Amino acid sequence: MISTVIRHESAMLLRSAQIWLIAALIAALFGYLFLTQVQAWLNVQTALALEDKAPGLTGFLAARFLAPLAMLFSIIAPLFAMRAFSNEYRLASFPLWQSSPISSTALVIGKYTGILLVLLLLVLIPVGMVFAMGLFVPIDLGTLASATLGLILSTAAFTATGLYFSSLTRHAMIAVLASLALLLLLWLIGSAASSAQRVGGALPLDALRGFSIGERVAGFFQGFIATGDIVFFSVMTALFLALTVVRLDALRDGGTE
Amino acid sequence: MSGGRRLTLLIVGIALLAGWLGLRFSTSFDLTANERHSLSSASLQAAAALDGPLDLIAVMRPERTQVDALTALVERFRIAKPDITLTFVNPDTDPARARSLGTTAGAELILRNATREQRLQNLSERTLVGAMRRLGRESDRDIVFITGHDERSPSLQTDDDWSDLAARLASSGLASREVSLVAEPHLAESIDVVVLAAPRRPYFPGEIASLMNYIRAGGNLLWLAETPSKSATGPGLEAPDRVFDPFYSTKGVGEGLGLGLSISYGIVAGFGGTIRADNAPGVGAVFTVLLRAAERRAAA
Protein backbone atom coordinates (compact mmCIF):
# COMPACT_ATOMS: atom_id res chain seq x y z
CA MET A 1 0.00 0.00 0.00
CA ILE A 2 2.78 2.37 0.96
CA SER A 3 4.64 1.50 -2.24
CA THR A 4 1.70 2.82 -4.26
CA VAL A 5 1.94 6.17 -2.45
CA ILE A 6 5.71 6.24 -2.91
CA ARG A 7 5.42 5.57 -6.63
CA HIS A 8 2.64 8.14 -6.98
CA GLU A 9 4.63 10.85 -5.19
CA SER A 10 7.92 10.18 -7.03
CA ALA A 11 6.13 10.08 -10.36
CA MET A 12 4.36 13.39 -9.55
CA LEU A 13 7.74 15.04 -8.99
CA LEU A 14 9.47 13.41 -11.94
CA ARG A 15 6.63 14.32 -14.29
CA SER A 16 6.86 17.98 -13.37
CA ALA A 17 8.87 20.12 -15.78
CA GLN A 18 9.76 22.61 -13.03
CA ILE A 19 11.48 19.88 -11.03
CA TRP A 20 13.64 18.91 -13.99
CA LEU A 21 14.50 22.54 -14.59
CA ILE A 22 15.47 23.00 -10.94
CA ALA A 23 17.48 19.76 -11.06
CA ALA A 24 19.33 20.87 -14.19
CA LEU A 25 20.20 24.26 -12.71
CA ILE A 26 21.31 22.64 -9.47
CA ALA A 27 23.46 20.09 -11.33
CA ALA A 28 25.15 22.94 -13.20
CA LEU A 29 25.71 24.71 -9.89
CA PHE A 30 27.21 21.52 -8.41
CA GLY A 31 29.56 21.25 -11.36
CA TYR A 32 30.71 24.84 -11.05
CA LEU A 33 31.25 24.63 -7.28
CA PHE A 34 33.11 21.35 -7.76
CA LEU A 35 35.51 22.85 -10.28
CA THR A 36 36.19 25.95 -8.14
CA GLN A 37 37.01 23.78 -5.15
CA VAL A 38 39.27 21.46 -7.14
CA GLN A 39 41.03 24.61 -8.38
CA ALA A 40 41.28 25.89 -4.79
CA TRP A 41 42.73 22.56 -3.72
CA LEU A 42 45.39 22.68 -6.42
CA ASN A 43 46.38 26.10 -5.08
CA VAL A 44 46.74 25.05 -1.44
CA GLN A 45 47.91 21.49 -2.03
CA THR A 46 51.58 22.13 -1.31
CA ALA A 47 50.79 24.16 1.81
CA LEU A 48 48.42 21.47 3.07
CA ALA A 49 51.03 18.76 2.57
CA LEU A 50 53.17 20.42 5.25
CA GLU A 51 50.51 19.94 7.90
CA ASP A 52 50.73 17.11 10.38
CA LYS A 53 47.76 15.04 9.31
CA ALA A 54 46.74 16.89 6.22
CA PRO A 55 43.31 16.40 4.72
CA GLY A 56 43.70 14.94 1.25
CA LEU A 57 41.66 15.84 -1.79
CA THR A 58 38.64 13.96 -0.43
CA GLY A 59 38.88 15.65 2.96
CA PHE A 60 39.22 19.04 1.30
CA LEU A 61 36.30 18.50 -1.07
CA ALA A 62 34.12 17.07 1.70
CA ALA A 63 34.65 20.17 3.81
CA ARG A 64 34.70 22.80 1.07
CA PHE A 65 32.40 21.35 -1.59
CA LEU A 66 29.96 18.90 0.04
CA ALA A 67 29.49 20.73 3.37
CA PRO A 68 28.02 23.94 1.84
CA LEU A 69 25.65 21.70 -0.15
CA ALA A 70 23.96 20.70 3.12
CA MET A 71 22.77 24.31 3.33
CA LEU A 72 21.70 24.22 -0.32
CA PHE A 73 19.65 21.09 0.34
CA SER A 74 17.91 22.82 3.24
CA ILE A 75 16.46 25.11 0.55
CA ILE A 76 15.86 22.46 -2.12
CA ALA A 77 14.20 19.87 0.13
CA PRO A 78 11.32 22.16 1.26
CA LEU A 79 10.84 23.21 -2.39
CA PHE A 80 10.40 19.57 -3.37
CA ALA A 81 8.15 18.82 -0.40
CA MET A 82 6.05 21.99 -0.53
CA ARG A 83 3.33 20.59 -2.74
CA ALA A 84 3.01 17.19 -1.07
CA PHE A 85 -0.09 18.12 0.92
CA SER A 86 -0.72 21.77 0.03
CA ASN A 87 -1.60 20.82 -3.54
CA GLU A 88 -3.91 18.04 -2.36
CA TYR A 89 -5.76 20.55 -0.18
CA ARG A 90 -5.94 23.16 -2.91
CA LEU A 91 -7.07 20.76 -5.62
CA ALA A 92 -9.53 19.22 -3.14
CA SER A 93 -8.04 15.78 -3.83
CA PHE A 94 -7.18 15.24 -0.18
CA PRO A 95 -10.62 13.84 0.73
CA LEU A 96 -9.88 11.06 -1.77
CA TRP A 97 -6.83 10.05 0.28
CA GLN A 98 -8.86 10.34 3.46
CA SER A 99 -11.55 8.07 2.15
CA SER A 100 -9.06 5.51 0.88
CA PRO A 101 -8.11 2.60 3.17
CA ILE A 102 -4.62 4.09 3.62
CA SER A 103 -3.83 5.15 7.19
CA SER A 104 -2.42 8.64 7.85
CA THR A 105 0.89 7.07 8.89
CA ALA A 106 1.18 5.10 5.64
CA LEU A 107 0.26 8.20 3.64
CA VAL A 108 2.88 10.36 5.38
CA ILE A 109 5.62 7.74 5.13
CA GLY A 110 4.74 7.03 1.51
CA LYS A 111 4.77 10.68 0.41
CA TYR A 112 7.92 11.33 2.44
CA THR A 113 9.79 8.36 0.94
CA GLY A 114 8.68 9.31 -2.56
CA ILE A 115 10.07 12.84 -2.24
CA LEU A 116 13.21 11.71 -0.45
CA LEU A 117 14.04 9.17 -3.20
CA VAL A 118 14.01 11.92 -5.83
CA LEU A 119 16.13 14.18 -3.58
CA LEU A 120 18.61 11.38 -2.98
CA LEU A 121 19.15 11.20 -6.75
CA LEU A 122 20.19 14.86 -6.52
CA VAL A 123 22.45 14.11 -3.54
CA LEU A 124 24.20 11.43 -5.57
CA ILE A 125 25.32 13.95 -8.22
CA PRO A 126 27.90 15.84 -6.10
CA VAL A 127 28.90 12.66 -4.27
CA GLY A 128 29.45 11.02 -7.65
CA MET A 129 31.67 13.97 -8.71
CA VAL A 130 33.99 13.42 -5.74
CA PHE A 131 33.84 9.66 -6.24
CA ALA A 132 34.82 10.11 -9.89
CA MET A 133 38.10 11.66 -8.72
CA GLY A 134 38.98 8.09 -7.72
CA LEU A 135 39.69 7.47 -11.40
CA PHE A 136 42.67 9.81 -11.20
CA VAL A 137 43.88 9.83 -7.59
CA PRO A 138 43.31 7.58 -4.59
CA ILE A 139 40.34 8.87 -2.61
CA ASP A 140 39.47 8.45 1.04
CA LEU A 141 36.33 6.33 0.95
CA GLY A 142 35.77 6.63 4.71
CA THR A 143 35.57 10.42 4.55
CA LEU A 144 33.39 10.31 1.43
CA ALA A 145 31.03 7.79 3.06
CA SER A 146 30.77 9.92 6.17
CA ALA A 147 30.09 13.09 4.14
CA THR A 148 27.48 11.24 2.08
CA LEU A 149 25.80 10.02 5.25
CA GLY A 150 25.76 13.61 6.50
CA LEU A 151 24.14 14.87 3.29
CA ILE A 152 21.56 12.05 3.32
CA LEU A 153 20.63 12.45 6.99
CA SER A 154 20.37 16.23 6.80
CA THR A 155 18.36 16.10 3.56
CA ALA A 156 16.05 13.54 5.19
CA ALA A 157 15.47 15.89 8.11
CA PHE A 158 14.92 18.93 5.84
CA THR A 159 12.43 16.97 3.75
CA ALA A 160 10.46 15.97 6.85
CA THR A 161 10.40 19.63 7.94
CA GLY A 162 9.11 20.71 4.52
CA LEU A 163 6.51 17.94 4.53
CA TYR A 164 5.17 18.99 7.93
CA PHE A 165 4.72 22.62 6.92
CA SER A 166 3.11 21.47 3.69
CA SER A 167 0.53 19.58 5.75
CA LEU A 168 -0.29 22.77 7.66
CA THR A 169 -1.42 24.97 4.79
CA ARG A 170 -3.04 24.85 1.36
CA HIS A 171 -0.57 27.47 0.10
CA ALA A 172 2.65 25.82 -1.05
CA MET A 173 4.54 29.14 -0.89
CA ILE A 174 3.67 29.63 2.74
CA ALA A 175 4.77 26.07 3.48
CA VAL A 176 8.15 26.75 1.84
CA LEU A 177 8.67 30.08 3.57
CA ALA A 178 7.77 28.62 6.96
CA SER A 179 10.14 25.66 6.51
CA LEU A 180 12.93 27.94 5.28
CA ALA A 181 12.41 30.28 8.23
CA LEU A 182 12.65 27.43 10.72
CA LEU A 183 15.66 25.81 9.01
CA LEU A 184 17.41 29.17 8.68
CA LEU A 185 16.87 29.76 12.38
CA LEU A 186 18.37 26.37 13.17
CA TRP A 187 21.38 27.17 10.97
CA LEU A 188 21.83 30.62 12.51
CA ILE A 189 21.69 29.30 16.05
CA GLY A 190 24.93 27.55 15.27
CA SER A 191 26.80 30.61 14.04
CA ALA A 192 25.45 32.76 16.89
CA ALA A 193 26.51 30.17 19.44
CA SER A 194 29.96 29.67 18.00
CA SER A 195 30.69 33.36 17.59
CA ALA A 196 29.47 33.94 21.14
CA GLN A 197 31.82 31.22 22.26
CA ARG A 198 34.71 32.93 20.55
CA VAL A 199 34.40 36.23 22.31
CA GLY A 200 32.80 34.92 25.49
CA GLY A 201 29.33 36.44 24.97
CA ALA A 202 27.08 37.61 27.76
CA LEU A 203 23.99 35.68 26.66
CA PRO A 204 23.69 31.95 27.37
CA LEU A 205 23.55 31.09 23.66
CA ASP A 206 25.69 28.03 24.26
CA ALA A 207 22.62 26.23 25.61
CA LEU A 208 21.12 26.43 22.12
CA ARG A 209 24.08 24.75 20.46
CA GLY A 210 22.36 21.38 20.76
CA PHE A 211 19.74 22.56 18.25
CA SER A 212 22.24 23.89 15.78
CA ILE A 213 22.17 22.19 12.38
CA GLY A 214 25.55 23.66 11.50
CA GLU A 215 27.25 22.17 14.54
CA ARG A 216 25.56 18.79 14.13
CA VAL A 217 26.33 18.43 10.44
CA ALA A 218 29.95 19.64 10.50
CA GLY A 219 31.49 16.44 11.85
CA PHE A 220 30.17 14.33 8.97
CA PHE A 221 32.07 16.43 6.44
CA GLN A 222 35.26 16.08 8.46
CA GLY A 223 34.99 12.29 8.36
CA PHE A 224 34.25 12.42 12.07
CA ILE A 225 30.92 10.78 12.85
CA ALA A 226 29.27 11.25 16.22
CA THR A 227 26.33 9.06 17.22
CA GLY A 228 24.78 12.15 18.79
CA ASP A 229 24.69 13.85 15.38
CA ILE A 230 23.06 10.82 13.77
CA VAL A 231 20.49 10.79 16.59
CA PHE A 232 19.88 14.53 16.10
CA PHE A 233 18.90 14.21 12.43
CA SER A 234 16.98 10.96 12.99
CA VAL A 235 14.99 12.56 15.80
CA MET A 236 14.37 15.70 13.73
CA THR A 237 13.06 13.50 10.87
CA ALA A 238 10.91 11.37 13.17
CA LEU A 239 9.58 14.43 15.01
CA PHE A 240 8.29 16.19 11.90
CA LEU A 241 6.89 12.97 10.41
CA ALA A 242 5.06 12.25 13.67
CA LEU A 243 3.73 15.82 13.79
CA THR A 244 2.49 15.43 10.20
CA VAL A 245 0.65 12.23 11.13
CA VAL A 246 -0.94 14.01 14.11
CA ARG A 247 -1.96 16.86 11.83
CA LEU A 248 -3.55 14.52 9.26
CA ASP A 249 -5.36 12.63 12.01
CA ALA A 250 -6.69 15.94 13.31
CA LEU A 251 -7.96 16.75 9.78
CA ARG A 252 -9.63 13.35 9.60
CA ASP A 253 -11.36 14.19 12.89
CA GLY A 254 -12.81 17.30 11.34
CA GLY A 255 -10.10 19.93 11.62
CA THR A 256 -9.71 22.59 8.93
CA GLU A 257 -6.93 22.86 6.39
CA MET B 1 -6.86 21.16 25.36
CA SER B 2 -7.67 18.83 22.53
CA GLY B 3 -6.23 15.34 22.22
CA GLY B 4 -4.29 16.35 19.12
CA ARG B 5 -2.54 19.18 20.90
CA ARG B 6 -1.70 17.02 23.88
CA LEU B 7 -0.23 14.42 21.51
CA THR B 8 1.79 17.11 19.73
CA LEU B 9 3.30 18.28 23.01
CA LEU B 10 4.05 14.69 23.97
CA ILE B 11 5.81 14.04 20.65
CA VAL B 12 7.86 17.24 20.93
CA GLY B 13 8.79 16.31 24.50
CA ILE B 14 9.89 12.82 23.50
CA ALA B 15 11.92 14.26 20.61
CA LEU B 16 13.69 16.76 22.88
CA LEU B 17 14.46 14.02 25.40
CA ALA B 18 15.73 11.62 22.71
CA GLY B 19 17.85 14.36 21.16
CA TRP B 20 19.29 15.35 24.51
CA LEU B 21 20.09 11.76 25.41
CA GLY B 22 21.66 11.26 21.98
CA LEU B 23 23.99 14.23 22.42
CA ARG B 24 24.68 13.44 26.07
CA PHE B 25 25.84 9.89 25.36
CA SER B 26 27.44 10.55 22.01
CA THR B 27 30.37 8.49 20.76
CA SER B 28 32.53 9.57 17.84
CA PHE B 29 34.18 7.58 15.09
CA ASP B 30 37.03 8.75 12.92
CA LEU B 31 36.47 7.50 9.39
CA THR B 32 39.32 9.37 7.69
CA ALA B 33 42.05 7.26 6.10
CA ASN B 34 44.86 9.00 8.01
CA GLU B 35 42.88 9.18 11.29
CA ARG B 36 43.02 12.94 11.17
CA HIS B 37 40.69 13.37 14.12
CA SER B 38 42.31 10.96 16.51
CA LEU B 39 45.00 11.90 18.96
CA SER B 40 47.75 9.41 19.56
CA SER B 41 47.61 7.75 22.98
CA ALA B 42 50.89 9.47 23.86
CA SER B 43 49.24 12.86 23.26
CA LEU B 44 46.27 11.96 25.44
CA GLN B 45 48.58 10.78 28.21
CA ALA B 46 50.57 14.00 28.05
CA ALA B 47 47.35 16.01 28.40
CA ALA B 48 46.02 13.85 31.24
CA ALA B 49 49.35 14.08 33.09
CA LEU B 50 49.05 17.86 33.37
CA ASP B 51 47.74 18.92 36.81
CA GLY B 52 45.28 21.75 37.26
CA PRO B 53 43.24 23.62 34.68
CA LEU B 54 44.88 24.56 31.41
CA ASP B 55 43.93 27.90 29.86
CA LEU B 56 44.54 28.43 26.19
CA ILE B 57 44.50 31.95 24.79
CA ALA B 58 44.59 32.13 21.02
CA VAL B 59 45.61 35.51 19.67
CA MET B 60 44.52 35.34 16.05
CA ARG B 61 42.21 36.88 13.53
CA PRO B 62 38.94 34.97 13.64
CA GLU B 63 39.43 33.16 10.36
CA ARG B 64 36.86 30.44 10.32
CA THR B 65 39.03 27.54 9.19
CA GLN B 66 41.78 28.28 11.72
CA VAL B 67 39.35 28.87 14.57
CA ASP B 68 37.47 25.68 13.74
CA ALA B 69 40.66 23.64 13.45
CA LEU B 70 41.93 24.88 16.81
CA THR B 71 38.54 24.37 18.47
CA ALA B 72 38.36 20.82 17.12
CA LEU B 73 41.91 20.05 18.23
CA VAL B 74 41.26 21.34 21.74
CA GLU B 75 37.97 19.44 21.82
CA ARG B 76 39.88 16.23 21.21
CA PHE B 77 42.22 16.97 24.11
CA ARG B 78 39.21 17.54 26.36
CA ILE B 79 38.54 13.78 26.21
CA ALA B 80 41.67 13.27 28.29
CA LYS B 81 41.65 16.59 30.11
CA PRO B 82 38.19 18.15 30.54
CA ASP B 83 39.38 21.33 32.30
CA ILE B 84 40.88 23.00 29.24
CA THR B 85 39.49 26.43 28.47
CA LEU B 86 39.96 28.12 25.13
CA THR B 87 39.53 31.84 24.57
CA PHE B 88 40.17 33.83 21.46
CA VAL B 89 41.63 37.33 21.34
CA ASN B 90 41.31 39.19 18.08
CA PRO B 91 44.31 41.51 17.69
CA ASP B 92 42.32 43.75 15.31
CA THR B 93 39.38 44.46 17.59
CA ASP B 94 41.20 44.10 20.90
CA PRO B 95 44.73 45.36 20.27
CA ALA B 96 45.21 46.44 23.88
CA ARG B 97 44.64 42.92 25.16
CA ALA B 98 46.86 41.45 22.45
CA ARG B 99 49.62 43.88 23.36
CA SER B 100 49.28 43.16 27.07
CA LEU B 101 49.76 39.50 26.26
CA GLY B 102 52.99 40.48 24.53
CA THR B 103 52.25 38.60 21.35
CA THR B 104 54.11 38.80 18.10
CA ALA B 105 52.63 39.79 14.75
CA GLY B 106 51.33 36.39 13.64
CA ALA B 107 48.85 34.09 15.28
CA GLU B 108 49.98 32.80 18.63
CA LEU B 109 48.63 30.34 21.15
CA ILE B 110 49.41 30.93 24.81
CA LEU B 111 49.11 27.99 27.19
CA ARG B 112 48.74 28.81 30.87
CA ASN B 113 48.89 26.30 33.66
CA ALA B 114 49.16 27.60 37.24
CA THR B 115 51.82 30.31 36.97
CA ARG B 116 53.67 28.97 33.99
CA GLU B 117 53.07 29.60 30.34
CA GLN B 118 54.13 28.35 26.94
CA ARG B 119 53.76 30.04 23.58
CA LEU B 120 53.23 28.42 20.21
CA GLN B 121 53.29 29.97 16.78
CA ASN B 122 53.12 26.80 14.72
CA LEU B 123 50.12 24.86 15.91
CA SER B 124 49.62 21.14 15.48
CA GLU B 125 48.97 18.17 17.72
CA ARG B 126 52.70 17.61 18.01
CA THR B 127 53.65 21.14 19.03
CA LEU B 128 50.70 21.38 21.41
CA VAL B 129 51.70 18.16 23.16
CA GLY B 130 55.28 19.40 23.37
CA ALA B 131 54.09 22.59 25.05
CA MET B 132 51.90 20.63 27.48
CA ARG B 133 54.85 18.43 28.39
CA ARG B 134 57.00 21.46 29.06
CA LEU B 135 54.23 22.97 31.20
CA GLY B 136 53.79 19.77 33.16
CA ARG B 137 57.44 19.44 34.03
CA GLU B 138 58.16 19.97 37.71
CA SER B 139 59.02 23.60 38.19
CA ASP B 140 61.65 22.71 40.78
CA ARG B 141 63.63 20.71 38.28
CA ASP B 142 67.16 21.47 39.26
CA ILE B 143 69.59 22.78 36.66
CA VAL B 144 72.94 23.76 38.05
CA PHE B 145 75.47 25.97 36.29
CA ILE B 146 78.96 25.55 37.74
CA THR B 147 80.71 28.86 38.44
CA GLY B 148 84.12 29.97 39.48
CA HIS B 149 86.13 29.30 36.33
CA ASP B 150 85.06 32.08 34.01
CA GLU B 151 82.08 30.18 32.70
CA ARG B 152 79.39 31.93 30.75
CA SER B 153 77.01 33.09 33.40
CA PRO B 154 73.28 32.42 33.23
CA SER B 155 72.59 35.42 35.46
CA LEU B 156 74.77 38.17 33.96
CA GLN B 157 73.37 40.10 31.05
CA THR B 158 76.57 41.04 29.23
CA ASP B 159 77.10 40.02 25.64
CA ASP B 160 79.48 37.28 26.72
CA ASP B 161 76.97 35.71 29.04
CA TRP B 162 74.00 33.43 28.65
CA SER B 163 71.14 35.01 30.53
CA ASP B 164 69.07 34.47 27.36
CA LEU B 165 69.50 30.73 27.71
CA ALA B 166 68.43 30.87 31.37
CA ALA B 167 65.41 33.01 30.46
CA ARG B 168 64.31 30.56 27.82
CA LEU B 169 64.81 27.67 30.22
CA ALA B 170 62.69 29.56 32.76
CA SER B 171 59.89 30.06 30.26
CA SER B 172 59.88 26.30 29.78
CA GLY B 173 59.41 25.83 33.51
CA LEU B 174 63.07 24.99 34.07
CA ALA B 175 64.69 27.07 36.79
CA SER B 176 68.46 27.19 36.91
CA ARG B 177 70.91 28.19 39.63
CA GLU B 178 74.64 28.70 39.95
CA VAL B 179 76.83 26.63 42.21
CA SER B 180 80.52 27.00 43.00
CA LEU B 181 82.19 23.65 43.50
CA VAL B 182 84.53 25.26 46.01
CA ALA B 183 81.62 26.23 48.25
CA GLU B 184 79.57 23.10 47.57
CA PRO B 185 81.87 20.22 46.66
CA HIS B 186 79.17 17.59 46.80
CA LEU B 187 76.69 17.68 43.93
CA ALA B 188 73.46 16.15 45.18
CA GLU B 189 71.89 13.36 43.16
CA SER B 190 68.67 15.38 43.04
CA ILE B 191 70.32 17.79 40.60
CA ASP B 192 68.96 16.97 37.18
CA VAL B 193 71.60 18.50 34.95
CA VAL B 194 74.96 20.04 35.71
CA VAL B 195 76.01 22.52 33.05
CA LEU B 196 79.62 23.43 32.37
CA ALA B 197 79.10 26.61 30.43
CA ALA B 198 82.31 26.96 28.44
CA PRO B 199 84.81 27.34 31.27
CA ARG B 200 87.84 29.42 30.36
CA ARG B 201 90.00 28.35 33.31
CA PRO B 202 90.79 24.74 34.33
CA TYR B 203 88.94 23.04 37.15
CA PHE B 204 90.79 21.91 40.26
CA PRO B 205 91.34 18.16 40.73
CA GLY B 206 88.92 18.12 43.66
CA GLU B 207 86.26 19.74 41.53
CA ILE B 208 86.77 17.25 38.71
CA ALA B 209 86.46 14.48 41.29
CA SER B 210 83.13 15.77 42.55
CA LEU B 211 81.87 16.11 38.95
CA MET B 212 82.99 12.53 38.28
CA ASN B 213 81.27 11.34 41.46
CA TYR B 214 78.09 13.07 40.40
CA ILE B 215 78.19 11.46 36.94
CA ARG B 216 78.95 8.01 38.37
CA ALA B 217 75.92 8.34 40.61
CA GLY B 218 73.84 8.71 37.46
CA GLY B 219 73.90 12.47 37.03
CA ASN B 220 73.62 14.32 33.74
CA LEU B 221 76.36 16.61 32.57
CA LEU B 222 75.90 19.13 29.81
CA TRP B 223 79.30 20.34 28.80
CA LEU B 224 79.11 23.31 26.52
CA ALA B 225 82.40 24.13 24.84
CA GLU B 226 82.81 26.96 22.39
CA THR B 227 86.10 25.75 20.97
CA PRO B 228 87.99 22.62 21.82
CA SER B 229 89.94 23.85 24.77
CA LYS B 230 93.08 22.36 26.21
CA SER B 231 92.25 23.85 29.55
CA ALA B 232 89.92 21.06 30.60
CA THR B 233 90.79 17.39 30.37
CA GLY B 234 88.80 14.27 30.99
CA PRO B 235 88.41 10.69 29.93
CA GLY B 236 87.58 10.06 26.26
CA LEU B 237 84.46 8.39 24.92
CA GLU B 238 84.30 4.81 23.68
CA ALA B 239 81.95 5.57 20.81
CA PRO B 240 81.45 9.30 20.26
CA ASP B 241 79.05 8.69 17.37
CA ARG B 242 76.69 6.67 19.54
CA VAL B 243 76.55 8.62 22.80
CA PHE B 244 73.39 10.52 21.83
CA ASP B 245 71.45 7.34 21.10
CA PRO B 246 68.78 6.73 23.70
CA PHE B 247 69.60 3.88 26.10
CA TYR B 248 73.20 3.68 24.90
CA SER B 249 75.35 3.17 27.97
CA THR B 250 78.80 1.89 28.74
CA LYS B 251 77.53 0.96 32.17
CA GLY B 252 76.06 -2.47 32.86
CA VAL B 253 72.39 -3.18 32.54
CA GLY B 254 70.49 -1.69 35.47
CA GLU B 255 73.22 0.78 36.37
CA GLY B 256 71.91 3.71 34.40
CA LEU B 257 69.36 4.43 31.76
CA GLY B 258 71.76 5.84 29.20
CA LEU B 259 69.34 8.69 28.56
CA GLY B 260 71.34 11.66 29.84
CA LEU B 261 73.07 12.64 26.63
CA SER B 262 70.03 11.75 24.58
CA ILE B 263 68.04 14.24 26.67
CA SER B 264 70.81 16.81 26.27
CA TYR B 265 70.57 16.31 22.55
CA GLY B 266 66.84 16.92 22.74
CA ILE B 267 67.27 20.10 24.80
CA VAL B 268 69.85 21.54 22.42
CA ALA B 269 67.81 20.52 19.36
CA GLY B 270 64.81 22.20 20.97
CA PHE B 271 66.70 25.49 20.87
CA GLY B 272 67.49 24.96 17.22
CA GLY B 273 71.12 24.14 17.95
CA THR B 274 73.38 21.19 17.39
CA ILE B 275 75.49 19.14 19.75
CA ARG B 276 78.43 17.04 18.69
CA ALA B 277 80.67 14.66 20.55
CA ASP B 278 84.34 14.17 19.63
CA ASN B 279 87.39 12.66 21.18
CA ALA B 280 90.23 15.14 21.22
CA PRO B 281 93.44 13.13 21.71
CA GLY B 282 95.13 14.11 24.94
CA VAL B 283 92.26 16.31 25.95
CA GLY B 284 89.27 14.05 26.50
CA ALA B 285 85.73 14.13 25.25
CA VAL B 286 84.70 17.38 23.65
CA PHE B 287 81.05 18.21 23.30
CA THR B 288 80.43 21.04 20.93
CA VAL B 289 77.12 22.81 21.28
CA LEU B 290 76.23 25.34 18.67
CA LEU B 291 73.38 27.69 19.51
CA ARG B 292 72.21 30.44 17.24
CA ALA B 293 72.37 33.83 18.91
CA ALA B 294 69.34 35.10 17.02
CA GLU B 295 66.97 33.93 14.35
CA ARG B 296 68.32 34.95 10.99
CA ARG B 297 65.79 36.98 9.05
CA ALA B 298 64.93 35.77 5.61
CA ALA B 299 66.40 38.03 2.98
CA ALA B 300 63.65 40.22 1.63
Yes or no: say if A122 and A23 are a contact pair by the CB < 8 Å rule.
Answer: yes
In the prediction, which pLDDT does A174 show? 93
Residue A175: pLDDT above 90?
yes
Yes or no: say if B265 and B275 are a contact pair by the CB < 8 Å rule.
Answer: yes
Query: B59 forms bridges with which residues in the sheet?
Result: B89, B108
Query: B287 forms bridges with which residues in the sheet?
Result: B277
Q: Which of A231, A233, A237, A249 to mutate to test the interface with B (most CBs of B within 10 A)?
A: A231
The span from the CA of B73 to the CA of B78, in Å, is 9
Partners of A242 on chain B (C-beta within 8 Å) are 11, 15
Contact B11 A227 (CB under 8 A): no
> Domain extents for chain A?
2-252
Cβ-Cβ pairs closer than 8 A, A with B, add up to 108
In the prediction, which pLDDT does B259 show? 65
Short-list B158, B237, B228, B162, CA closest to B195: B162
In the prediction, which pLDDT does B292 show? 61
The span from the CA of B273 to the CA of B224, in Å, is 12
* B247 touching A (Cβ < 8 Å): no
Q: Of B120, B136, B152, which residue sits at a domain end?
A: B136
3-class SS of residue B195? strand
Q: Are B71 and B180 part of one and the same domain?
A: no
In the prediction, which pLDDT does B238 show? 61
Which H or E run contains A161? helix A141-168
The span from the CA of A144 to the CA of A121, in Å, is 16
* B19 touching A (Cβ < 8 Å): yes
pLDDT (tens digit per residue) in B36-81: 777 777 788 888 888 888 889 888 887 766 787 788 788 888 888 8
Residue in chain A lying closest to B36 (CA): A53
Q: Are B194 and B90 part of one and the same domain?
A: no
Q: Are B87 and B192 part of one and the same domain?
A: no
Contact A229 B26 (CB under 8 A): yes
> Is position B9 within any domain?
no
Q: Which of B1, B5, B6, B32 to mutate to test the interface with A (most CBs of A within 10 A)?
A: B32
- Local confidence band at B295 (pLDDT 50, 70, 90 cut-offs): very low
> Is position B4 within any domain?
no
* B120 touching A (Cβ < 8 Å): no
pLDDT (tens digit per residue) in A38-76: 999 998 888 877 766 778 888 899 989 999 999 999 999
CA distance A79 to chain B (A): 24
Domain limits for position B56: 41-136
Pairing of strands B143-147, B116-120: unpaired
Q: Which residues contact A65 (CB under 8 A, 6 or more apart)?
A: A33, A34, A37, A126, A129, A130
Of A225, A239, A249, the CB nearest to B31: A225
- Local confidence band at A165 (pLDDT 50, 70, 90 cut-offs): very high
pLDDT (tens digit per residue) in A6-39: 998 899 888 888 889 988 999 999 999 999 999 9
Q: Of B90, B117, B136, which residue sits at a domain end?
A: B136
> Is position B159 within any domain?
yes
Share of chain B above pLDDT 90, in %: 3
The span from the CA of B263 to the CA of A36, in Å, is 49
Q: Are B69 and B190 part of one and the same domain?
A: no
* A199 touching B (Cβ < 8 Å): yes
Q: Are B124 and B223 part of one and the same domain?
A: no
Contact B88 A199 (CB under 8 A): yes
Contact A51 B124 (CB under 8 A): yes
Pairing of strands B193-197, B143-147: parallel
C-alpha B102 chain-centroid distance: 20
Q: What angle do CA A170, A189, A211 make, to 5 degrees?
A: 80
pLDDT (tens digit per residue) in A76-132: 999 999 888 998 898 888 888 888 888 889 999 999 999 999 999 999 999 999 999
Q: Are B116 and B255 part of one and the same domain?
A: no
Q: Name the domain count of chain B.
A: 2
* CATH number of the domain bearing residue B48: 3.40.30.10
Residue A178: pLDDT above 90?
yes
* A201 touching B (Cβ < 8 Å): no
Residue A197: pLDDT above 60?
no
Contact B33 A140 (CB under 8 A): yes
* A56 touching B (Cβ < 8 Å): yes
